[in-house]
Structure 1
Amino acid sequence: MALMSWNVRGLGNKETVRALKNDAFKFHPSIIFLSETKQKRKYLEKIRRNMKMENSFYVDPLGIAGGLALWWTKEVNITILNAENNFIDAEIVYNGKEVLFATFIYGPPYVEDKQVFWDKLSTLRSNPSDKWCIIGDSSIVARQDEKIGGANFDVSQARRFFEFLEKSSVLELPIKGGNFTWSNLRSKGDAILEKLDRILANIGWSTLFPKAIGILVVAITSDHSPIFLLLKGLNKRSKKTFKFESKWLLEEDCSLNIN
């Protein structure tokens, strides 16, 4: 089973929809989480049905801002436990018997909302034996080496993030394919690169899926790149895929212009 998470920065353009379909085709995710959809359900449902995802749950955007979509196939049984503008919390029955918990996040961009967000997440699991994974846009730079360009990262926000990790007993899983998941889509001296999208898991989840691995696939139709969580790891027989290192955007010979 694979999970996909992507802050799409709006699904209103055909290139983004095409990129979504192409990336999903590579890894065949059973669960797709999209944030910042900026679209009404009727439009999103057309895309979901075209992608053969049988089930859906939505948090509608506020005007033309935000919006969450969770799609899943008939291979998994999902019950939505809680949902707000910045997260969807779900129970997943895996292989017909294993009960898992997954929280799909879209971290608030404003500093004044971040503490409330992490406080809410920390209350979602009260049973330490729950197998729990968190995936999505954290909207947090946790370390200085997770950022190139722009102002220094916010130490106080990073501290809150690590306090959440400790309180919730979750650790961050590595993501292969690049060091940064967000870019301001500029090149050379104006480029800013950050790691914002993350996969977190507690011991119970990590023990159940010891080969799980995160994969980043660079997209130029959004400022965020989609990430995949492959629970059984990479298929050794599959062909090697081209890996784009996001810091290449800083090189003079690599120009990226998005209008």
Structure 2
Amino acid sequence: MNALVWNCRGFGQPPIVRQLRKMVKMFKPSFVFLSETQKKRSYMETKRKSMRFAGNSYVCPIDQAGGLALWWVEGISCKILDSDQFFIDVLVEGDDGFYITFVHAPSDPNRRRDFWDRISSLRSSFDDKWVVIGDMNVILFPEEKLGGGPPRNESVIPFKNFVDDNALMDLGFKGYPFTWNNNREGQRRVEERLDRALCSASWRSKFRNALVFHELPIESDHWPLRLEMKGTKVRSNPPFRFDSRWLNQEECNNIVNCKWDNGGMCHDRLLNCEKELKEWAREVYWDQNKRAADIQARLEEIFIMDRSVDIVQEEKFDDRTCCHLER
């Protein structure tokens, strides 16, 4: 079981929708939680159905601001316990059930203080298996901010109190250390770790191998979070499947003709073709995947560098190239 959580800052943008499709296809999340959708339920339902999620819960935007969407796959038994414009609280049912609260905390510090009290009231026992994940809109420690002035205590202290009062622990992360930036360049650039996952000791005991990943953002100032609740799975070898697109490759036709003409029983000929095509396809796709991975790594480097005009243009070019390779 895993979850994909993203403050997408407007779900109507084609690059945002395209990246979500890519991540859904790649990671196959059990849950997808989107905040700041800025879209009506009817639009979100169209996208949910196209990505084949079975369940849904929405908090509609107010005057085209805000908006939450939670989708889950078929086979997940869950119950929506509570929600408002800043969170959706869920009970994942079953013998080993647990609570998960998807949040997008208010940006105003005064409203955020009341928000932490509200989230605290959702649970009545430290023994509850509980995870809280999303955009907290505040950091916990000074080192979670790069650039700009020092963090304000009136914002940080209420959040720290919330974490301590509920005996929550930070799940940490893998990837780039900051999850938000102000989209400015040079000395004016500010980056912070605003998005995170917190959990109770009993939840951590149940999901000992749980990991949080910061995924690369496209056309958004927030990095998507991916919570793997059972750690990274080792994939088994998939069965051989012939890809019809290979028919356009002359090398594929040569392999089939060569191996088939070697003679032998039909079964043996098919096995020989399968073996050679596997090796050929592995080399072809390895080259493409390696190039995409190199571009992805370069994009991550760019986020660390000063945002000069040349760097921004390179980022946009690499972005388009990644999308082309994925197609």
Short-chain TM bin: over 0.9
In structure 2, the CA distance between the partners of 1:170 and 1:254, relative to structure 1 (3 Å rule), is: farther
**Who wins on radius of gyration, i.e. which is larger?**
2
Match runs of 1:66-145 below 5 Å: 66-93=66-93, 96-145=94-143
Q: CA deviation at 1:228?
A: 0.6
For residue 206 of structure 1, give the secondary structure of its aligned residue in structure 2.
Answer: helix
Aligned partners of 1:236, 1:249: CA distance in 2, in Å? Answer: 34
Q: CA deviation at 1:234?
A: 1.8
Aligned partners of 1:256, 1:118: CA distance in 2, in Å? Answer: 37
Aligned partners of 1:129, 1:139: CA distance in 2, in Å? Answer: 27
**Which of the two has greater helix per residue?**
2
Counterpart pick for 2:157 among 151, 156, 159: 159
Counterpart pick for 2:201 among 200, 203, 206: 203
Whether contact under 8 Å (2:183, 2:221) holds in the other structure is yes
Q: Which piece of structure 1 moves more, 187-196 or 105-114?
A: 187-196
Q: Which amino acid aligns with 1:10?
A: G
Which residue does 1:225 correspond to in 2? 223
| 1:98-122 deviation line (CA, Å, top 9, x unaligned) | 2110000001011221100001111
TM-score by length of 2: 0.74
Q: Which amino acid aligns with 1:231?
A: M
Match runs of 1:175-186 below 5 Å: 175-186=173-184
Aligned partners of 2:83, 2:13: CA distance in 1, in Å? Answer: 26
Q: CA deviation at 1:153?
A: 1.0
For residue 126 of structure 1, give the secondary structure of its aligned residue in structure 2.
Answer: coil
In structure 2, the CA distance between the partners of 1:162 and 1:48, relative to structure 1 (3 Å rule), is: same
Matched, 1:7 2:7: yes
Q: Which amino acid aligns with 1:85?
A: Q
TM-score by length of 1: 0.93
Question: What is the Cα-based RMSD across aligned positions, in Å?
Answer: 2.2
In structure 2, runs of 5+ residues without a counterpart are 237-288, 317-327
Which residue does 1:57 correspond to in 2? 57
Q: CA deviation at 1:236?
A: 4.8
Q: CA deviation at 1:158?
A: 1.2
Aligned partners of 1:24, 1:253: CA distance in 2, in Å? Answer: 32
| 1:160-184 deviation line (CA, Å, top 9, x unaligned) | 1111111111111111111000011
Q: CA deviation at 1:254?
A: 7.0
- Number of aligned residue pairs: give it: 257
For residue 97 of structure 2, give the secondary structure of its aligned residue in structure 1.
Answer: strand
Aligned partners of 1:72, 1:110: CA distance in 2, in Å? Answer: 30
Aligned partners of 2:310, 2:20: CA distance in 1, in Å? Answer: 24
Which residue does 2:213 correspond to in 1? 215
Which residue does 1:248 correspond to in 2? 304
Whether contact under 8 Å (2:184, 2:307) holds in the other structure is no
In structure 1, runs of 5+ residues without a counterpart are none
Aligned partners of 1:80, 1:106: CA distance in 2, in Å? Answer: 16
